[in-house]
Structure 1
Amino acid sequence: MESLASGFLLSISLIMAIGAQNAFVLKQGIKKHHVFWVSLVCAVSDALLIAAGIAGFGAAVEAFPTLETVARYGGAAFLIIYGIKSLMSAFGPDHSLEPEGEEPDSLVKIIAMTLAFTWLNPHVYLDTVVLLGAVATQYEGTARTLFGIGAMSASGVFFFSLGYGARFLAPLFHKPVAWKILDALVAMIMFTIAASLLLG
């Protein structure tokens, strides 16, 4: 059980940092648009990456640095584009979360964007694949499996809590100025992470 708790605590400490993926989940949660699917895609993606890390894929990523380079520049380009979109929204016409307000994007588009935020983010490979994979090597057999289960559970708990917990902020975002501030903050997060990828 110690390995289960260790996997859970390490995983959730890595996920909790505010990043592009978390900002996107938060925004969809506030808007109440496809929250279940966004949370599920994030959790399942993390579970697959954690499983790959524990299975030893972290060593493969380190052996082929080209994979990291492709993810770095592809992720930076995606974040810049999304950041520009958020910035335009922040300085565009007023909008709020009233029932007659913004129409939700299609489920297919939202899932595609969620996958992009997850799989085009090089940091996710460092955290879930390389780091968790490296820590998992200190466990053997059943203990390693429990470590992986704990790490995957943390991801599921976090993303569903973030997605559905965000709706408690919805009343605040009936005010157009609050929505503009959020869009501006999201844009800043996207640009900052993109810069760290390009300059790192």
Structure 2
Amino acid sequence: MLESYLTGLLVCGGIIMAIGAQNAYVLGLAVRREHHWWSAGLCMSSDLLLLTAGMFGVGALLLTFPSTMEVMRWLGVAFLGWLACQALFRATTGRQGLTVSASGERSLKQVLLATLAVTVLNPQVYLDTFLLIPAVGAQQESAAVFVAGAGTASILWFSLLAWGGSALSPWLSRPWAWRMIDGVIGLMMAAIALHLAFSGLKS
């Protein structure tokens, strides 16, 4: 049982920690202290839901419709490109650091909807949670304990992003620091969008 838990923790943790659109978005919110814990919580909940569904075979049903995955792929490219443009625009025009309201410019509803879009419009998420991770989980003694370990990895990682980004905010009060952060996040989003557009999905 413990082996199943640790396997889920390590396998899922390794996949989640890879730099992706979801991680970059949550980190950006955390640095700006813009409803970051709500966003991180939604990411944790989504991961747990998708992992559980994947273990029970929902992914196999979805992947029988390749046209659906292709549509989601291009929606993801468009949305990630839009986020990249927003971040790069902020990087070029500048911001006033922490003299701006700490609650950010967007409402909680807008942040949650954007977080959900970053999650569900990335087809690679489904390949990971519906195929790769369940393939490992199917070989474990207890699938439920494996999912618990994978869920723990998600909770720990997104908590670290939310806490770490927020903790760095007081040291990032200068406008040039904010511009650098937005620039890096914008470039990351653009790179992920281009990779998804030209490389497609790899199972």
TM range, smaller chain: over 0.9
Q: Is 1:8 the equivalent of 2:9?
A: yes
Q: How many residues are treated as equivalent by the alignment?
A: 198
Secondary structure in 1 matching 2:40? helix
Shift in alpha-carbon separation, 1:65–1:167, aligned structure 2, 3 A: same
Matched ranges for 1:10-49 at <5 A: 10-49=11-50
Alignment check: 8 A CA contact 2:29 2:36 kept = yes
Q: How does 1:87-98 map to 2 (within 5 A)?
A: 87-98=88-99
Quote the Cα distance in structure 2 between the aligned partners of 1:75 and 1:62.
Answer: 17
Asked if 1 retains the 8 angstrom alpha-carbon contact of 2:94 and 2:178, the reply is no
* Whole-Å separation in 2 of the counterparts to 1:137 and 1:79: 32
Q: Mind listing any 5+ residue stretches in structure 1 that lack a counterpart? A: none
Q: State the shift of 1:192 in Å.
A: 0.6
Does residue 65 (structure 1) correspond to residue 66 (structure 2)? The answer is yes
The answer to whether the 8 A contact 1:84-1:187 is kept is: yes
* CA RMSD in angstroms, aligned pairs only: 1.5
Aligned-residue sequence identity (percent) comes to: 38
Residues 69-89 of structure 1: per-residue CA shift (max 9 Å, x gap): 121100000000111111111
Amino acid at match of 2:20: G
Task: Within 5 Å, give how 1:43-122 maps onto structure 2.
Answer: 43-98=44-99, 100=101, 103-122=104-123
Gaps of 5+ in 2: none
Tell me the SS of whatever aligns to 1:97.
helix
Whether 1:178 and 2:191 are equivalent positions in the alignment is no
Give the drift of 1:99.
5.2
Whether 1:145 aligns to 2:144 is yes
Moved more, 3-12 or 63-72: 63-72
Label 1:5 to 1:34 Cα distance change in 2 as closer, same or farther (>3 A): same
1:14 aligns to what SS in structure 2?
helix
**Normalising to structure 2: TM-score of the pair?**
0.92
In structure 2, distance between residues paired with 1:34 and 1:102? 7
CA distance in 2, matches of 1:182, 1:93: 11
Structure 1 residue 17, shift from structure 2 partner: 1.0
The normalised TM-score by structure 1 is: 0.93
